[in-house]
């Protein structure tokens, strides 16, 4: 196995591995170890024997959900999975992008390979084939209440395995049957429980949560870097990030953020402003704000990776002990709580950066910088407005991010004839978190451009008597590779979009 290949069996899968496969940075392969194959086929074989005995198995010889009391004649059992993914083909809203679709496939594999879902090894191979050949199910975002899992969005995965519906393929949206024919892939016929095993789980919300986690992790570092730049730009007090000061409040994430900023402005002693011993909160308390996100990430990781590495469908099939156990492992409450919490922590980053932007723009607070950070000089200054409109945009994006922080997990709705009478809303929570991340990345891109201009102006005001640290020089170089400084007014939408793309690619090494 190469370093760029992840071999999937029933072992632990990380958030990073999900994201790496989703972004095509690593390939995936299914283990062909005989003990693993035995584990998988044991459950499928047990179900076969139960069927031969005319056993009552939920979702195999019965209807679904509240229809569990409806007995399905044995001669119709093989048609039941087709009906399950067919009648759930009612998803609406925007479609998940290709990266998210690939993450969904990895997430479902992670659960099914635990060996407690009663699926065949052939089904797992078909899921891996979709990833290997980059045939990604096109999945609508709306229609899941997060229990019984992500039924409707995952029905699009089940249908694609059987050659139905549509996929992303080589940059296009194509009919699955046509692409399968082109690639020589045979549609599979789902065994009696296999549609239920694919659909009755938390793969969509968990996949989205994995992607959200990595974006939030990067944003935390970027917010610290922007704070360092902002502290320099407003002639701030570096002592606010003193190691001794933070030793007395031992939140690990908060201490880590303060240490990052110290690395950036360790030459900042001359920056101390004797006229203002204490900077405003958006500078002085930045480690406390960003630190909340840093300290939220570890327990979010635990919640997400536990869900990722769980058997989260129903019923659970114990092939070794020959038990069929009916429960509620499709319930996405842990993902819902993690995503509701993460989006609040991220939205607070947007709010922090918005306040830092406000300090930089206003001559009442920016300690001698020009209005709106305009780079124009002489008579030209009268008609130039620098980052004035960008600040309005930042305010708008921040307000929308804050509006999105209403927790989705508390909006459980009884549905499906009151069988699903308490649901998680985990998928909505995860989608909300992605939206908050998108908006906060927009805020970060804009403030990064503005604060870089502020640092350059401040540096010139000091006639270069204050040396920038190598860390700040590096981030300024990164920024200037994407967007030039603003002297004369120009349209900045392309610069902003390019900066957002760079942030989402996470290609800058912000802290070691």
DSSP of 113-162, one letter per residue? TTS-S---HHHHHHHHHHHHTT-EE--EEE---SSS-SHHHHHHHHHHHT
Would you say residue 376 lies in a domain? no
pTM for this model (two decimals): 0.96
pLDDT tens, 312-323?
999 999 999 999
72 vs 26, residue with greater confidence: 26
Q: 275 and 389: one domain?
A: yes
pLDDT in tens, 229-264: 999 999 998 899 999 999 999 999 999 999 999 999
Q: Is 360 inside a domain boundary?
A: no
- Asked if 118 and 87 count as a contact pair (C-beta separation under 8 A), the reply is no
Phi, psi dihedrals of residue 332, rounded to the nearest 5°: -100, 35
What is the model's pLDDT at position 465? 60
High-pLDDT (> 90) share of the chain, %? 81
Do both 226 and 174 map to the same domain? no
- In terms of Cα–Cα distance, which of 184, 352, 179, 181 is closest to 257? 352
Provide the mean pLDDT of the chain. 93
By residue range, what is the domain housing residue 420?
209-317+327-352+385-505
Of the residues 138, 166, 201, which one is the last residue of a structural domain? Answer: 201
Token pair belonging to 366: 């920016």
From CA 225, how far away is CA 228, in angstroms rounded?
5
Please report whether residue 512 resides in a domain: no
The whole-number pLDDT of residue 240 equals 93
Name the residue among 405, 299, 399, 305 with its Cα closest to residue 346: 405
More reliable by pLDDT, 354 or 57: 354
Among 106, 103, 101, CA closest to 29: 106
| Share of residues in the chain with pLDDT > 70 (%) | 96
Query: Domain ends where: 155, 182, 201?
Result: 201
- Same domain? For 226 and 180 the reply is no
Which of 58-62, 76-80, 466-470 comes out lowest in average pLDDT? Answer: 58-62
User: Is residue 268 predicted with pLDDT exceeding 50?
Assistant: no
- pLDDT recorded at residue 82: 93
- Strand 27-30 and strand 92-95: the pairing is unpaired
CATH number at residue 434: 1.20.200.10
Classify the C-alpha dihedral 336-342-343-345 as positive or negative.
positive
- pLDDT (0 to 100) of residue 493: 97
Do residues 155 and 233 share a domain?
no
Structural domains of the chain, count: 2
Say if CB 215 and CB 163 are below 8 A apart: no
Going through 280-436 in order, the beta strands assigned E by DSSP cover 316-318, 323-325
Q: Write down the pLDDT at residue 229.
A: 97
184: CATH: 1.10.275.10
Examine the fold and report which residue of 172, 201, 230 is the final residue of a domain before the chain moves on.
Answer: 201
User: Domain check: are 84 and 111 in the same one?
Assistant: yes
pLDDT, tens digit (0-9, with 9 covering 90-100), for 130-187: 999 999 999 999 999 999 889 999 999 999 999 999 999 999 999 999 999 999 999 9
The answer on 236 and 164 residing in a single domain is: no
Q: How many CA atoms lie within 13 A of 439 on its CB side?
A: 28
Same-domain status, 192 and 339: no
What local confidence, expressed as pLDDT, does residue 79 receive?
A: 87
Instruction: Compute the distance between CA of residue 148 and CA of residue 423 in angstroms, rounded to an integer.
Output: 8
* Region class of 373: left (phi > 0), else alpha (psi between -120 and 50), else beta: left
Examine residue 284 and state whether it is found in any structural domain, yes or no: yes
């Amino acid at each position: 196995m190469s370093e760029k290949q992840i071999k999937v069996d029933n072992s632990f899968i990380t958030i990073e591995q999900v994201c790496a496969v989703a972004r095509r940075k690593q390939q995936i392969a299914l283990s062909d170890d005989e003990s693993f194959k035995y584990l998988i086929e044991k459950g499928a074989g047990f179900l076969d024997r139960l069927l031969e005995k005319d056993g009552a198995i939920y979702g195999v010889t019965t209807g679904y959900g509240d229809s569990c009391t409806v007995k399905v004649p044995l001669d119709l059992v093989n048609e039941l999975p087709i009906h399950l993914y067919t009648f759930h083909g009612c998803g609406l809203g925007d479609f998940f992008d290709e990266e998210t679709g690939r993450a969904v496939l990895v997430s479902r594999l992670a659960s099914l390979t635990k060996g407690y879902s009663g699926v065949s090894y052939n089904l797992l191979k078909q899921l891996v084939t979709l990833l290997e050949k980059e045939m990604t199910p096109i999945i609508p975002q709306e229609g899941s209440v997060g229990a019984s899992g992500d039924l409707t969005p995952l029905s699009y995965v089940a249908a694609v395995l059987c050659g139905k519906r549509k996929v992303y393929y080589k940059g296009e949206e194509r009919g699955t049957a046509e692409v399968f024919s082109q690639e020589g892939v045979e549609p599979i016929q789902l065994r009696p429980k296999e549609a239920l095993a694919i659909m009755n789980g938390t793969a969509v919300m968990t996949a989205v949560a994995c992607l959200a986690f990595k974006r939030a992790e990067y944003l935390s570092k970027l917010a610290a870097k922007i704070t360092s730049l902002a502290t320099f730009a407003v002639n701030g007090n570096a002592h606010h990030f003193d190691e001794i000061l933070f030793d007395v409040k031992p939140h690990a994430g908060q201490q880590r953020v303060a240490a990052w900023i110290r690395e950036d402005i360790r030459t900042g002693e001359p920056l101390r402003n004797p006229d203002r011993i204490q900077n405003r909160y958006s500078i002085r308390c930045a480690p406390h704000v960003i630190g909340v996100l840093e300290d939220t990430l570890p327990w979010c990781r635990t919640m997400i990776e536990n869900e990722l590495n769980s058997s989260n469908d129903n019923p659970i099939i114990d092939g070794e002990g020959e038990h069929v156990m009916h429960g509620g492992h499709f319930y996405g409450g842990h993902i819902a709580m993690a995503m509701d919490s993460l989006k609040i922590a991220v939205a607070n980053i947007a709010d922090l950066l918005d306040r830092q932007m406000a300090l930089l723009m206003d001559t009442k607070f920016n300690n001698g910088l020009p209005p709106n950070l305009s780079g124009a000089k002489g008579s030209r200054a009268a008609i130039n407005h620098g980052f004035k409109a960008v600040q309005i945009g930042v305010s708008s994006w921040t307000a929308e991010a804050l509006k999105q922080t209403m927790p989705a997990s508390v909006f459980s709705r009884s549905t499906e004839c009151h069988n699903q009478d308490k649901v998680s809303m985990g998928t909505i929570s995860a989608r909300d978190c992605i939206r908050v991340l998108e908006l906060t990345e927009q805020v970060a891109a804009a403030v990064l451009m503005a604060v870089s201009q502020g640092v350059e102006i401040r540096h010139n005001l000091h006639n270069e008597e204050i040396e920038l640290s190598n860390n700040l020089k590096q981030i300024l170089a990164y920024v200037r590779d994407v967007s030039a400084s603003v002297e004369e007014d120009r349209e900045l939408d392309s610069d902003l979009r390019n900066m957002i793309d760079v942030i989402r690619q996470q290609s800058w090494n912000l802290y070691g």
